[in-house]
């Protein structure tokens, strides 16, 4: 009896061992054949990225950016908006490359058509989605360029950097939370939100309007619309302001933040943010 048992045990051990051995060899060969050689630097770079997966760099998440950076062997043309300059410096140090200086950007709402400035003429009665409202009509205030106030941008923000101000009906961008991923820029059906240079001490000057209608028409709907009068153009000594289609635009690359243009704007359409209060005759600007 014992002998038979021993025999079965022996047979099992030997045969299973043999099968295991053969399988191991096959697996080894297959693994050699289909081996994926991955640059260990990709993991290294990914480690340094903020893991927000926001898509602000234009690629599908942080891993994709890391792969692209390692493949290109340089940091030129790559930017991680949430990480900013610091992260790029870190990556450069770890990889032993040169890192260019990246300018920190921030989302800026270029509309100041609050309920008070652009009083609603009709009532919108459908799902609160800007995409629907944009397809239906010019907006409660009547401005075909203005903010619709349904908050698609707020929903698109994955950093809690925006909220809807119930009183004004406009979204508010929080300076300290915005990482310039531009998700809101893509979401807005009217392209009201623009990525602009964050500026020294977070100071920014911009035309808070994108209305290209003639001055009179724009003004009829909104008291703070840019009417394309060109006064700011004459005031600017740095050629930073251009006037096209009845709309002034301040180039943030050229603007020196000299604060000459906001006071001359007859409709207070030019906003300055985070500046100290003016001593004489403070301009009545409403911070958006």
Partner 1 sequence: MEKLKTFVMGGVHPPENKLAEKQSILRLDPPESVAIPLSQHLGVPAAPVVNKGDEVLAGQLIAKGEAFISANIHASVSGKVAKIDAVIDSSGYRKKAILINTEGDKWTDGIDQDESLVTDYDLDSKEITRRIQDNGVVGMGGATFPSHVKMMVPKGKKAEYLIINGVECEPCLTADHRLMLEKGEEIMVGITLQMKALGVDKAIIGIENNKADALEHLERLAEKYPAISVQGLKVKYPQGAEKQLIKALVNREVPSGKLPIEVGCVVHNVGTSFAVYEAVLKNKPLMERVVTVSGTSVKKPGNFMVRIGTPVITLIEAAGGLPEDTGKVINGGPMMGKALNDLNVPVTKGTSGILIFTEAESKRPPEQNCIRCARCLTICPMGLEPYLLAQLTDKKRLEECEDERIMDCMECGSCLYICPSGKPLLDHIRVGKTRVGKMIRERAG
Q: Please state the closest distance from residue 125 (CB atom) to partner 1, in A.
A: 6
Nearer to partner 1, 227 or 255 (CB): 227
Long-range contacts of the stretch 48-53 (C-beta < 8 A, 24+): 48/87, 48/90, 48/91, 48/94, 49/80, 49/83, 49/87, 49/91, 50/80, 50/82, 50/83, 50/87, 52/82, 52/158, 52/159, 52/179, 52/181
Nearer to partner 1, 183 or 250 (CB): 183
Piece of 68-76, 133-141, 165-173, 240-248 that binds partner 1 (CB under 8 A) = 133-141
Q: Residue 7 half-sphere exposure, CB side, CA atoms within 13 Å?
A: 4
135 contributes a contact to partner 1 by CB under 8 A: yes
142 contributes a contact to partner 1 by CB under 8 A: yes
Of 149, 151, 152, the C-alpha closest to 138 is: 149
CA 130 → CA 111, 124, 162, 239, distances in Å? 15, 11, 15, 35
Nearer to partner 1, 194 or 213 (CB): 213
201 contributes a contact to partner 1 by CB under 8 A: no
CA distance 93 to 98: 8
Of 257, 261, 279, the C-alpha closest to 269 is: 261
Binding-residue total with partner 1 (CB under 8 A):
16
Q: Please state the closest distance from residue 143 (CB atom) to partner 1, in A.
A: 10
Of the candidates 192, 213, 224, 288, which one interacts with partner 1 according to CB under 8 A? 213
- CB-based contact 154:169 (threshold 8 Å): no
Of the candidates 18, 94, 136, 258, which one interacts with partner 1 according to CB under 8 A? 136
Give the footprint of partner 1 on residues 73-132 (CB under 8 A).
121-122, 125-127, 129, 131-132
144 contributes a contact to partner 1 by CB under 8 A: yes
Of the candidates 52, 59, 92, 138, which one interacts with partner 1 according to CB under 8 A? 138
Give the alpha-carbon dihedral of 254, 153, 110, 216, to 10 degrees.
150
Q: Please state the closest distance from residue 168 (CB atom) to partner 1, in A.
A: 21
46 contributes a contact to partner 1 by CB under 8 A: no
Residue 200 structure tokens: 């020294």
Piece of 138-146, 162-170, 191-199, 256-264 that binds partner 1 (CB under 8 A) = 138-146
Nearer to partner 1, 44 or 53 (CB): 53
CA distance 196 to 277: 22
Residues in contact with partner 1 by the rule CB under 8 A: 121-122, 125-127, 129, 131-132, 135-138, 142, 144, 213, 217
């Amino acid at each position: 009896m014992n002998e038979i048992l021993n025999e079965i045990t022996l047979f099992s051990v030997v045969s299973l061992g043999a099968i295991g051995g053969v399988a191991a060899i096959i697996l080894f060969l297959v693994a050699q054949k289909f081996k994926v050689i991955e640059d260990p630097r990709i993991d290294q770079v990914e480690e340094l990225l903020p893991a927000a997966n926001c898509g602000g760099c234009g690629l599908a998440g942080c891993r994709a950016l890391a792969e692209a950076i390692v493949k290109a062997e340089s940091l030129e043309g790559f930017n991680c908006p949430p990480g900013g300059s610091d992260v790029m410096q870190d990556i450069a140090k770890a990889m032993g490359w040169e890192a260019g200086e990246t300018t920190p950007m921030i989302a800026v709402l270029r509309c100041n058509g609050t309920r008070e400035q652009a009083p609603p003429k009709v009532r919108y009665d459908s799902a609160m989605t800007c995409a629907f409202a944009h397809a239906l009509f010019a907006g409660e205030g009547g401005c075909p360029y203005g903010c619709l106030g349904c908050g698609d941008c707020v929903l698109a923000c994955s950093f809690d950097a925006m909220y809807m101000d119930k009183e004004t009906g406009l979204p508010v961008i929080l300076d300290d939370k915005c990482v310039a991923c531009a998700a809101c820029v893509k979401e807005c059906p009217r392209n009201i939100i623009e990525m602009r240079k964050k500026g020294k001490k977070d100071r920014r000057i911009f035309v808070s309007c994108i209305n290209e209608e003639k001055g009179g028409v724009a003004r009829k709907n909104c008291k703070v619309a840019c009417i394309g009068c060109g006064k700011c153009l004459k005031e600017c000594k740095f050629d930073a302001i251009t006037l096209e289609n009845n709309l002034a635009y301040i180039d943030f690359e050229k603007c020196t933040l000299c604060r000459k243009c906001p006071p001359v704007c007859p409709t207070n359409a030019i906003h300055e943010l985070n500046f100290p209060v003016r001593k004489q005759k403070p301009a009545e600007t409403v911070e958006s």
